[in-house]
C-alpha cells in the first residue's frame, strides 16, 4: 500500500515537472498554432543561466532563498530575451510559409542552442546547489521532500496565473483575439506582433522557472537535458489537448502517473513478461488509445477542419 | 525498346522540360557523371567520401519514401525511421549467425520491405482520424515503441540480441559475387564502397522511377487532394482511409528496403542507429529540399548527409583564416554551423530549396490560392 | 517560362558548388610543416563522441591520447633508426554507429598508422571491420562488449576488461566479500549497461546471492523514483546499477531520498570524480570497479594524473589513462618492429609487454587484456578509496 502511495507521489512530482514545461508549449500553441520545438532547449538555457548566476552569488552571504530568487530573475530575463529572439528570427519570417517550415527552423535553433551551451558551459555535468530545503517528510509510509512539494505547487500556481492572464486581463483578451482570428484582431487595433512576442516571452520565462525546478529536484544540470524533457512535455501537452492550459497540467500529471505506475506495476500486470524497460511503450500506448477516442486530446477542442 | 520509353521520363523529372536535343545531351552527361562519381570522389577526396556518398544515397531513398507520406499525402510522420529499422532487422535476423539463417538477399530484402509495409499499415490504421500535430506525436511514439522493442527483445527469448546489436550480418551477394569484397573487373579495382554505390544507385533510381509514376497517377493525385483538403477530397469520392493507408504502406516499403541495404552494407546494426533524431533528420531532408518535389527531396537528402561531413574539417581552418588561431574546438562548432544552416536555408527558401511547381504556385503572392492555405496568424500579421 | 526556370535553379547550383568547395577544402589535409628528410611522421587516429551526451567522456579520451602523443614527441622516439614525430587525428563519431564507419574510413584514407578508439561498443564494433579490412591496428580504451574481440579480427585490441571479466569480479565481490543475499539490479539498456548487468547477475547468482529485482532505465533518464520504489518493496541489501555516472548521480540521490538503506554498486562507469562531486553525501559508501591497479600504486601513475590535471585544468574523468597506455603500447610495438607500418608492427603489438600506468599491457590471442587485475573502490569521506584488487578472470568465451 505504501508502495502504491509512493508511486503516486513519484508520478505527481514527475508529472508536475512535465506540466511546467508543457504549459510553455501550450501557451505558444494556443496563440500561434505552432509547436515551438526549441522550447526544451530554452528550459536548458534557463537552468544553465540560473546556475551561473547562483554560482556568482552563492558565496556572497545572501540567504539561499534570495540567491535562488536572483538566479530565477536573471534566468527568466535571459530566457525572455532568447524567446523573443527565437520568435523574431526563426518564426516570424515564416508566418506565410508552409506549415512545416517553422518546424525545421525550430530543429535548427535547438541544435544551435545545444551546441552553444556546450561551448559556453562545457561538456561536463554540473551540480545544481541545494538552495531549497529538501528534508524528507513521511506520509503514511511514503516519502516526499520539500522541493517536490514546491514543484507541485509551482505547477499549479503557474497554471492558475496563466488562466488569469489569458481570461482576466486586457493582454489575455488580445491573445485570445489573435488566436481566434488574427486578421480581425488586427483590424480591431490589436498589435499582433507585440502580442505574439509577449506570448513567446511569457512561455520562455516559464521555461526558465521549469529549468530551475527540474535542476533543483535532480541536482544536476547538463547541456543535453532539454531534449528529452521537451519531448516528454510535448507528449504531455498533446495528451491533455495542446493549446489548452488545463489540458497541459492534466496531461503532465497523467503522463507522470502513467510512467511511474507503468514502471512500478507493468511487470506484475504482464506476468513478468514486460518489465520497467517497457515504461515508455506503455505511456505511448495510453497516448495512442486516448487519441483514438479523443483525437484532440483529453481537454482539447475539436480541431477546425482546416487548421 | 523499354529504355527509350523510360529515359525521357527520368529526364523530364530532372529538367522539367522534355525532349530537346540539349536535354538529351545533358542526360547522357549526367549518366556518365553518376557512373564515374565514386572514382572521381575517391581520387579527389578519398574513399571515406565514397562511403559518405553511399550513405547519402541510402538517405535519399529514405527521404523519397517519407516524401510520399509527408510530401504527397501531407501527413507528418516523425517515426519514419522505424520502417528503416524493421527492414534492417529483418535482413539481419535472416542473414546472420543470430539464428544461423543465411537466406540470400533477394529473399530477405523484399521480405523486409514487405514487413515494413505491413508495419506501415499497422501505424496508419489507428491514426486515420488524427491531424497535424496529433498525428506527429503518435507517429513519434510509434517509432519509439519499435526501437524500444528492438532494444529489449533479448529476454526472455533472445530475438534481437538487445542493445548489443547484431553482428556479422551477411554482405549482399549476387551469385558468388560478394559486394563486401574487393574485386578486379575490366582491369579496374572495385572496393566494397564502390560496389555498394552502384547497387544503391540502381535502387535509388528505381525508387525515383516509382515515385514519378505514383506522382502522375490517380493515386498520386488522390494523395495531393487529401493534402490540400481532406474533406473536399472525400466529397469527390476519394476513399480517404484506403488512400492514406496506401501512403503509409508505400512510404514504409521504401524505408524497409533501404533498411535491408543498410544492414548488408554495415554488417552490424544496433538499436541506437534508429533513434528519434534520425527520424527528425529525414523529415528535415524532405522539407528542406522541397516537399513533394522529387528533385528537391533528392537534393535535401544529399545535402543533409554531406553538409555535416563537409563541415567536419571546415571549422578549424575557417577560424584560422578569420582570427589567426583556433578559438573554439572545431568539433563543437560543426554541429552549431549545421543547425545554423538549417535555419538560414529555411529562411532563405521557406518552401524548400527546390519546391514542387504546384506548391510554388500556391505560395506566389499574386496567386489567388496563396492565402487560402492557412487562415491563422501566419497571413494576418504580414 | 525560361527565365524564371534559370533563376530558380541558380541558387541551387550555387549551393551545390559551395558544398563541393567545402568538400574540397576538407579533403586536403592541413599543411604540415615540411618534415626533415630523416623524420618519420606517424599518424595516430583517435575517435570518440566529442558532441552529444557523452562528450565529456569522449573529450577525456582525446585528452589522454593527446598527452601520450605529446609526451612521445617531447621525449623523442626513434623507430627503426629514424626519429619519429607523432600526429594526432581526432574525429567525432557522435556515438552514432553510422558516423563511426564514416570516420573510420576517413582515418584509413588519411593513412593513420594506428587507431585509439572508439569509446562505445556500438561504434567500436562496426568501425573495427573497416580497420580490419585495411589492416590497421585498433586499440579501444573503453569498449567492453565481449563481441568486439570475438569477431576474429587480428587488428582489434583493448586495454580495458570486457563485460565478462568485470561483471564476474563484481558479482563475486558482491556475493562473497560483501555477503549480499538479496540483490536488486538496474541496467540502462545500453550495450554497456546491459552487458555488464547480465554478467554481474550470472556471477552473483553463482556466488549464492538472490536477484530479487531486475529493473531498467535508459541512458537519458533522470528520474528513477518509480523503479527505486518498487525495488524498495523487495528490501534488497545491495542495488547494482549497470550504467554511466550521469544516471548514477541522480539514481543514488533518489535511492537515499527514498530511504533505501541498501548498499549501492556500479561498474567502471561509476568510478568518476563527478559521481562524488554531484551526488555529494548520497555518494558516500558507493562501490565501483575499475580495471587495473589503482593509478597511484602504478609506476608513473601518480605523475600522470598530476600532469593531466595541470594540463587540462580538470581531474581525469574516466578512460584517459587507458588511452595513454594504448598509445604507448602501440609506440612500443612500433619500436620493437622497427617500423610504423601497420603490417609490420601488428605482430609485435599482439605479443607486446608494456608497463602502462593502468596495468601491464599484455594481450591474449583474441586481443583482450590478459589476466588484467580489477580493483574495487568505495567512496569514503568523499573520496574514492581502493578496497581490494582482484585478479582478473580470463575473458569469458562467447
The pLDDT value recorded for residue B360 is: 54
CB pair distance less than 8 Å for C229 and A7: yes
Say whether A220 and C51 touch across the interface (CB within 8 A).
no
Could you give the CA distance from residue B211 to residue B251 in angstroms, rounded to a whole number?
10
Residues B95, B102 contacting (CB under 8 angstroms)? yes
Nearest CA distance, B70 vs chain A (angstrom): 10
**How confident is the model over A5-64, as pLDDT tens digits?**
999 999 999 999 999 999 998 998 888 888 888 999 999 999 999 999 999 998 888 898
Size (chain C), residues: 398
**Which residues in chain B touch residue A108, judged by CB atoms under 8 angstroms apart?**
339-343, 346
CB-nearest partner of A14 from C220, C223, C227:
C223
Question: Per the CB < 8 Å rule, is B134 touching A295?
Answer: yes
Predicted-complex ipTM score: 0.91
Cell numbers 563519431: residue? C93
A 156-195 residues inside an 8 A Cβ radius of B: 178, 181-183, 185-186, 192-193
Q: Write out the H or E segment, with its range, that includes residue A179.
A: helix A170-180
How many contacts does A have with B, using Cβ atoms within 8 A? 176
How are beta strands B173-174 and C114-117 bridged, if at all? unpaired
Count the helices and strands in chain A (H runs, E runs). 11, 4
- In a 13 Å sphere around the CA of A23, the CA atoms on its Cβ side amount to 32
Record: contact C246-A220, CB cut-off 8 A: yes
Q: pLDDT for A221-280, tens place per residue?
A: 999 999 999 999 999 999 999 889 999 999 999 999 999 999 988 888 887 778 888 989
Over range B136-165, report the average pLDDT: 92
Do the Cβ atoms of B274 and B205 come closer than 8 Å?
no
Q: Which residues pair with A143 in a beta bridge?
A: A138
A291 vs B138, B284, B381: nearest CB: B138
Picking from A33, A284, A291, the nearest residue to B376 by CB comes out as: A33
Is it the case that residue C17 has pLDDT exceeding 60? Answer: no
At a CB cut-off of 8 Å and minimum separation 6, what does A57 contact? Answer: A67, A70, A71
- Phi first, then psi, for residue C215 (nearest 5°) are -110, 170
Q: What is the pLDDT of residue B381?
A: 42
C201-219 pLDDT tens trace: 999 999 999 999 999 999 9
Subunits that touch chain B (at least 3 Cβ pairs < 8 angstroms)?
A: A, C
pLDDT of residue A138: 87
Tell me if chain C has a CB within 8 Å of the CB of A218: yes
Bond from prior residue into B180 cis (ω within 30 degrees of 0) = no
From CA B241, how far away is CA B125, in angstroms rounded? Answer: 8
Contact between A287 and B328 using a beta-carbon 8 Å cutoff: no
Angle of helix C121-133 relative to helix C191-206, nearest 10 degrees, comes to 110
Interchain CB contacts (distance < 8 Å): B and C: 127
Cα maximum dimension of chain C: 84
Structural contact between residues A128 and A51, judged by C-beta atoms closer than 8 angstroms: yes
At B248-262, the pLDDT tens digits run 999 999 999 999 999
* CA-based nearest residue to B105, from B265, B252, B273: B265
On chain A, the residues whose CB falls within 8 A of the CB of C231 are: none
Three cell numbers at C300? 608513473
CA distance B205 to chain A (A): 27
Nearest CA in chain B to A289: B126
Minimal CA separation from A256 to chain C, in Å? 10
Q: Per-residue confidence at B114, pLDDT binned at 50, 70, 90? A: very high
Contacts with B168 (C-beta within 8 Å, 6 or more apart), sequence order: B96, B97, B267, B268, C151
Binary contact (B342, A104; C-beta < 8 A): yes
C119 CB neighbours in chain A (<8 A) are none
Percent over 70 (pLDDT), chain C? 89
- Residue B132, chain A, CB below 8 Å: the answer is yes
Residue B127 at interface with chain C, using a CB cutoff of 8 Å: no
Separation in Å, CA C1 to CA B16, B17, B37, B379, C102 = 11, 10, 32, 28, 43
- Cα separation, C396 vs C368, in Å, equals 10
What domains lie within chain C, and their CATH numbers?
A: 40-161+296-367 (3.40.50.2300), 164-291+375-390 (3.40.50.2300)
Q: Is the per-residue pLDDT at C8 higher than 50?
A: no
Query: Is the pLDDT assigned to residue C12 strictly greater than 80?
Result: no
Range A166-179 average pLDDT: 92
B244 in contact with C at a CB cutoff of 8 Å?
no
pLDDT over threshold 60, residue C397: no
Residue written as grid cell 490560392:
B369
Any chain C CB within 8 A of the CB of A124? yes
Backbone angles phi, psi at B293, to 5 degrees: -115, 120
Which one of A95, A108, A291 has the shortest CB-CB distance to B377?
Answer: A95
Q: In this model, does residue A75 exceed pLDDT 90?
A: yes
CA A27 centroid distance within chain: 10
Rounded CA-CA distance C384/B224 in Å is 64
Which residues 212-271 of chain B have a CB within 8 Å of chain A? 229-231
Task: State phi, psi for A243 to the nearest 5 degrees.
Answer: 100, -10
Residue C370: which H helix or E strand, with range?
none
Range C263-270 average pLDDT: 95
What is the chain C residue with the closest CA to A215?
C222
The pLDDT of residue C396: 39
Cell digits of residue A247:
489540458
Nearest to C258 among A17, A143, A227 (CB): A143
More confident site: B191 or B20: B191
* Residue B322 predicted with pLDDT over 80: no
Q: Assign B312 a pLDDT band (cuts: 50, 70, 90).
A: confident
Strand ranges (E), B293-345 = none
Q: Is C250 on the interface with A (CB under 8 A)?
A: yes
Q: What is the mean pLDDT of residues B149-158?
A: 91
The predicted structure's pLDDT at residue C19: 46
CA dist C90 and A185 (Å) reads: 56
Contact C177, C153 (CB under 8 A): no
Interface membership of A197 toward B (CB under 8 Å): no
Least confident segment among A149-158, A273-282, C210-219, C360-369: A273-282
Binned at pLDDT 50, 70 and 90, residue B18 comes out as low
Q: In the predicted model, what is the mean pLDDT of chain C?
A: 88
The residues pairing with A221 across neighbouring beta strands, listed in sequence order, are A126
Whether the Cβ atoms of residue B295 and residue B14 lie closer than 8 Å to each other: yes
Nearest CA in chain C to A259: C226
Confirm or reject contact between A52 and chain C (CB < 8 A). no
Among B193, B307, B332, the residue with its CB nearest the CB of C19 is B307
Quote the CA–CA distance of C315 and C293 in Å, as a whole number.
18
Q: Which of residues 3-62 of C touch A (CB under 8 A)?
A: 51-53, 55-56, 58-59
Kindly list the partner chains of chain A, i.e. chains with 3 or more CB atom pairs below 8 Å: B, C
Q: How many CA atoms lie within 13 A of C144 on its CB side?
A: 30
CA distances from B348 to A95, B23, B381 (A): 13, 29, 19
CA distance A57 to chain B (A): 28
Task: Supply the pLDDT for residue A13.
Answer: 94
For position B328, what pLDDT does the model report? 74
Q: Does A224 touch chain C (CB under 8 A)?
A: yes
Contact B46 C25 (CB under 8 A): no
- Residues of C in Cβ contact (< 8 Å) with B46: 27, 106, 109-110
Would you call C222 and A277 a contact, using CB atoms and an 8 Å cutoff?
no
> Are the C-beta atoms of residues C161 and C372 closer than 8 Å to each other?
yes
Average pLDDT estimate for C359-365: 91
Interface residue A112 vs chain B (CB under 8 A): yes
For B:134-163, CB contacts with C below 8 A are 151-152, 154, 162-163
% helix, strand, coil for chain A, step of 5? 75, 5, 20
Q: What is the pLDDT of residue B12?
A: 55
Mean pLDDT of A168-192: 92
Q: Please report the DSSP string for B240-258 in residue order.
A: HHHHHHHHHHHHHHHHHHH
Question: Exposure of A228 by Cβ count < 10 A (0-12 exposed, 13-18 middle, 19+ buried)?
Answer: middle
A129–chain C Cβ distance below 8 A for any pair = no
**Cβ A276–C227 below 8 Å, yes or no?**
yes
**Is the confidence at residue C142, as pLDDT, over 50?**
yes
Residues linked to residue C263 through DSSP beta bridges, in sequence order: C238
Put simply, the answer to whether C226 touches A259 (Cβ < 8 Å) is yes
Cβ distance A112 to B382 less than 8 Å, yes or no, reads no
Sorting pLDDT into bands at 50, 70 and 90, what band is B326? Answer: low
Residues 340-379 of B with CB under 8 A from C: 348-349, 353-354
Interval C253-264 mean pLDDT = 93
Local structure of A143: helix, strand or coil: strand
On whether the CB atoms of residues B69 and B82 are closer than 8 A, the answer is: no
Using the Cβ of A137 and the Cβ atoms of chain B, whether some distance falls under 8 Å is answered with no
Partnered with residue C46 across adjacent β-strands are: C90, C116
What pLDDT score does A66 carry? 93
Amino acid at each position: 500500500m505504501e508502495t502504491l502511495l509512493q508511486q503516486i507521489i513519484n508520478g505527481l512530482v514527475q508529472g508536475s515537472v512535465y506540466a511546467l514545461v508543457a504549459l510553455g508549449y501550450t501557451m505558444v500553441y494556443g496563440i500561434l498554432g505552432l509547436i515551438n520545438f526549441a522550447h526544451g532547449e530554452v528550459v536548458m538555457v534557463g537552468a544553465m543561466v540560473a546556475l551561473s548566476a547562483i554560482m556568482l552569488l552563492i558565496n556572497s552571504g545572501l540567504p539561499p532563498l534570495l540567491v535562488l530568487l536572483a538566479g530565477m530573475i536573471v534566468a527568466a530575463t535571459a530566457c525572455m530575451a532568447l524567446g523573443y529572439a527565437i520568435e523574431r528570427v526563426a518564426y516570424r519570417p515564416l508566418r506565410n510559409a508552409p506549415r512545416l517550415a517553422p518546424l525545421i527552423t525550430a530543429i535548427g535553433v535547438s541544435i544551435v542552442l545545444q551546441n552553444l551551451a556546450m561551448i559556453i558551459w562545457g561538456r561536463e555535468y554540473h551540480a545544481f546547489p541545494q538552495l531549497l530545503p529538501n528534508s524528507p517528510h513521511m506520509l503514511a509510509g511514503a516519502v516526499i521532500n520539500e522541493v517536490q512539494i514546491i514543484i507541485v505547487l509551482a505547477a499549479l500556481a503557474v497554471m492558475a496565473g496563466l488562466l488569469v492572464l489569458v481570461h482576466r486581463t486586457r493582454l489575455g483578451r488580445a491573445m485570445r483575439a489573435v488566436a481566434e482570428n488574427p486578421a480581425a484582431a488586427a483590424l480591431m487595433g490589436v498589435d499582433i506582433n507585440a502580442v505574439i512576442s509577449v506570448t513567446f516571452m511569457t512561455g520562455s520565462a516559464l521555461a526558465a522557472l521549469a529549468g530551475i525546478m527540474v535542476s533543483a529536484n535532480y541536482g544536476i544540470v547538463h547541456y543535453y537535458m532539454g531534449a528529452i524533457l521537451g519531448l516528454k512535455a510535448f507528449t504531455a501537452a498533446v495528451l491533455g489537448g495542446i493549446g489548452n492550459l488545463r489540458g497541459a497540467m492534466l496531461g503532465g500529471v497523467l503522463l507522470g502517473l502513467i510512467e511511474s505506475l507503468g514502471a512500478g506495476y507493468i511487470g506484475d500486470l504482464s506476468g513478468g513478461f514486460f518489465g520497467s524497460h517497457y515504461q515508455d511503450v506503455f505511456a505511448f500506448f495510453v497516448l495512442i488509445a486516448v487519441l483514438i477516442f479523443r483525437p484532440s486530446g483529453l481537454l482539447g477542442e475539436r480541431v477546425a477542419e482546416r487548421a | 525498346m523499354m529504355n527509350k520509353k523510360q529515359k525521357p521520363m527520368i529526364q523530364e523529372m530532372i529538367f522539367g522540360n522534355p525532349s530537346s536535343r540539349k536535354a538529351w545531351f545533358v542526360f547522357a552527361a549526367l549518366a556518365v557523371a553518376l557512373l564515374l562519381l565514386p572514382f572521381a570522389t575517391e581520387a579527389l577526396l578519398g574513399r571515406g567520401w565514397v562511403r559518405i556518398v553511399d550513405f547519402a544515397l541510402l538517405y535519399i531513398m529514405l527521404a523519397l519514401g517519407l516524401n510520399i507520406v509527408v510530401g504527397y499525402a501531407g501527413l507528418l510522420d516523425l517515426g519514419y525511421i522505424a520502417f528503416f529499422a524493421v527492414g534492417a532487422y529483418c535482413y539481419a535476423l535472416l542473414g546472420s549467425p543470430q539464428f544461423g539463417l543465411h537466406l540470400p538477399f533477394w529473399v530477405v530484402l523484399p521480405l523486409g520491405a514487405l514487413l515494413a509495409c505491413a508495419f506501415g499499415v499497422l501505424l496508419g490504421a489507428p491514426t486515420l482520424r488524427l491531424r497535424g500535430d496529433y498525428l506527429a506525436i503518435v507517429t513519434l511514439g510509434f517509432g519509439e515503441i519499435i526501437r524500444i522493442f528492438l532494444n529489449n527483445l533479448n529476454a526472455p527469448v533472445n530475438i534481437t540480441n538487445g542493445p548489443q546489436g547484431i553482428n556479422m550480418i551477411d554482405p549482399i551477394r549476387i551469385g558468388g559475387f560478394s559486394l563486401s569484397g574487393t574485386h578486379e573487373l575490366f582491369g579496374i579495382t572495385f572496393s566494397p564502397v564502390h560496389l555498394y554505390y552502384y547497387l544503391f544507385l540502381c535502387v535509388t533510381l528505381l525508387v525515383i522511377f516509382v515515385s514519378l509514376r505514383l506522382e502522375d497517377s490517380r493515386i498520386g493525385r488522390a494523395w495531393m487532394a487529401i493534402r490540400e483538403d481532406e474533406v473536399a477530397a472525400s466529397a469527390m469520392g476519394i476513399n480517404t482511409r484506403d488512400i492514406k493507408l496506401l501512403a503509409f504502406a508505400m512510404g514504409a516499403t521504401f524505408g524497409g528496403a533501404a533498411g535491408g541495404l543498410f544492414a548488408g552494407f554495415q554488417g552490424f546494426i544496433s538499436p541506437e542507429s534508429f533513434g528519434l533524431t534520425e527520424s527528425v533528420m529525414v523529415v528535415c531532408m524532405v522539407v528542406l529540399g522541397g516537399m513533394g518535389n522529387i528533385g528537391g527531396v533528392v537534393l535535401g537528402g544529399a545535402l543533409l548527409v554531406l553538409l555535416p561531413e563537409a563541415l567536419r574539417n571546415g571549422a578549424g581552418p575557417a577560424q584560422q583564416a578569420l582570427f589567426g588561431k583556433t578559438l573554439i574546438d572545431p568539433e563543437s562548432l560543426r554541429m552549431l554551423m549545421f543547425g545554423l544552416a538549417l535555419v538560414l536555408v529555411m529562411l532563405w527558401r521557406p518552401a524548400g530549396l527546390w519546391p514542387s511547381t504546384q506548391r510554388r504556385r500556391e505560395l506566389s503572392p499574386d496567386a489567388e490560392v496563396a492565402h487560402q492555405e492557412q487562415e491563422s496568424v501566419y497571413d494576418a500579421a504580414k | 517560362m525560361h527565365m524564371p526556370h534559370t533563376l530558380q535553379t541558380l541558387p541551387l547550383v550555387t549551393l551545390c558548388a559551395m558544398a563541393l568547395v567545402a568538400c574540397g577544402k576538407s579533403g586536403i589535409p592541413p599543411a604540415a610543416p615540411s618534415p626533415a628528410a630523416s623524420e618519420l611522421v606517424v599518424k595516430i587516429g583517435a575517435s570518440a563522441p566529442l558532441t552529444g551526451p557523452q562528450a565529456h567522456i569522449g573529450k577525456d579520451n582525446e585528452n589522454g591520447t593527446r598527452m601520450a602523443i605529446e609526451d612521445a614527441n617531447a621525449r623523442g622516439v626513434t623507430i627503426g633508426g629514424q626519429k619519429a614525430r607523432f600526429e594526432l587525428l581526432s574525429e567525432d563519431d557522435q556515438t552514432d554507429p553510422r558516423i563511426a564507419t564514416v570516420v573510420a574510413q576517413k582515418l584509413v584514407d588519411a593513412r593513420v598508422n594506428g587507431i585509439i578508439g572508439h569509446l562505445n561498443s556500438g561504434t567500436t564494433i562496426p568501425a573495427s571491420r573497416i580497420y580490419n579490412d585495411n589492416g590497421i591496428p585498433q586499440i579501444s580504451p573503453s569498449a567492453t562488449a565481449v563481441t568486439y574481440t570475438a569477431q576474429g579480427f587480428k587488428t582489434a585490441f583493448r586495454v580495458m576488461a570486457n563485460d565478462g571479466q568485470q561483471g564476474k569480479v563484481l558479482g563475486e565481490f558482491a556475493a562473497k566479500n560483501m555477503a549480499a543475499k538479496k540483490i536488486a539490479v538496474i541496467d540502462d539498456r545500453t550495450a554497456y549497461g546491459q552487458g555488464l548487468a547480465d554478467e554481474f547477475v550470472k556471477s552473483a547468482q553463482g556466488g549464492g546471492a538472490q536477484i530479487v529485482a531486475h529493473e531498467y532505465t535508459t541512458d537519458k533518464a533522470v528520474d528513477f523514483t518509480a523503479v527505486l520504489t518498487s525495488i524498495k518493496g523487495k528490501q534488497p541489501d545491495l542495488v547494482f546499477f549497470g550504467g554511466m555516472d550521469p544516471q548514477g548521480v541522480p539514481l543514488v540521490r533518489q535511492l537515499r531520498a527514498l530511504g533505501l538503506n541498501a548498499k549501492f554498486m556500479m561498474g567502471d562507469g561509476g568510478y568518476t570524480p563527478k559521481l562524488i562531486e554531484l551526488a555529494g553525501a548520497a555518494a558516500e559508501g558507493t562501490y565501483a570497479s575499475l580495471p587495473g591497479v589503482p593509478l597511484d600504486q602504478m609506476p608513473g601513475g601518480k605523475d600522470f594524473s598530476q600532469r593531466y590535471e595541470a594540463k587540462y585544468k580538470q581531474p581525469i574523468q574516466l578512460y584517459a589513462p587507458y588511452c595513454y597506455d594504448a598509445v604507448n603500447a602501440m609506440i612500443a610495438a612500433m619500436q620493437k618492429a622497427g617500423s610504423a607500418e601497420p603490417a609490420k608492427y601488428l605482430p609485435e603489438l599482439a605479443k607486446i609487454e608494456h608497463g602502462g600506468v593502468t596495468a601491464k599491457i599484455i594481450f591474449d590471442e583474441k586481443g583482450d587484456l590478459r589476466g588484467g587485475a580489477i580493483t574495487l573502490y568505495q567512496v569514503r569521506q568523499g573520496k574514492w578509496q581502493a578496497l581490494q584488487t582482484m585478479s582478473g578472470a580470463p575473458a569469458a568465451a562467447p
